Amino acid sequence: MLGVVVKKSPVHGRGVFATKPFRKATRIIEYSGRRILWSSVPGELDDPRMYYFGLDDGKTVIDPAVGGNEAQWINHSCEPNCEVREKRGRIFIHALRSIKPGEELFYDYHLEVDDNVPRTKEIEQEAPCHCGSRICRGTLLAPSGR
């Protein structure tokens, strides 16, 4: 049993929800899709690039539009219950703590801006966060200075 379902989220659009309990550290789902190069992806921070998942090599990105699954709908939270682990070029979503059926799944997107783009409030607000957590950074971008 897959153990997740895609449905309307109180945070944004569609999200992914647990339909069964997951223990801490369990692998929940792979972020699947075709592999393409960042260099072939046009666009700005606020466009469909946000559905792409960049791999650690800095060159490759997973495009869930082809061969993607439920994982592409997982929303961001600044206080997530999941984390992303990369293993040999594949991305897996794991539980950061035990998760109950009905809970929405979140990981921290840690979005990066290009090195040549200055980190400003305006840039942060191009990707605002509505996770509602007590420790919300207000943006989907990675904490500055990392």
Ligand X SMILES: C[S@@+](CC[C@H](N)C(=O)[O-])C[C@H]1O[C@@H](n2cnc3c(N)ncnc32)[C@H](O)[C@@H]1O
Within 68-97, which residues bind Zn ion (CB under 5 A)? 78
The nearer residue to Zn ion, 72 or 77, going by C-beta atoms, is: 77
Verify binding: residue 140, Zn ion, rule CB under 5 A. Answer: no
Nearest to 104 by CA among 7, 33, 28, 31: 7
The nearer residue to ligand X, 21 or 127, going by C-beta atoms, is: 127
CA dihedral sign of residues 95, 97, 101, 103: negative
The nearer residue to ligand X, 12 or 35, going by C-beta atoms, is: 12
The nearer residue to ligand X, 9 or 81, going by C-beta atoms, is: 9
Within 39-68, which residues bind ligand X (CB under 6 A)? 50-51
25 sits in which H/E element: none
Cα angle: 81, vertex 63, 72; to 5 degrees: 30
Residues 6+ apart with CB under 8 A from 97: 24, 81
Residue from 75, 80, 107, 108 touching ligand X (CB under 6 A): that is 75
Q: Segment contacting Zn ion (CB under 5 A): 92-100, 104-112, 116-124, 125-133?
A: 125-133
Verify binding: residue 29, ligand X, rule CB under 6 A. Answer: no
Would you call 99 exposed, middle or buried from its count of C-beta atoms within 10 A (0-12, 13-18, 19+)? Answer: buried
Phi/psi at 110 (5° precision): 50, 45
Q: How far is the CB of 102 from ligand X (least distance, A)?
A: 17
**Token output for 128:** 């605002």
Q: How far is the CB of 89 from ligand X (least distance, A)?
A: 20
Binding footprint of ligand X on the chain (CB under 6 A): 9, 11-15, 50-51, 72-73, 75-77, 129-131
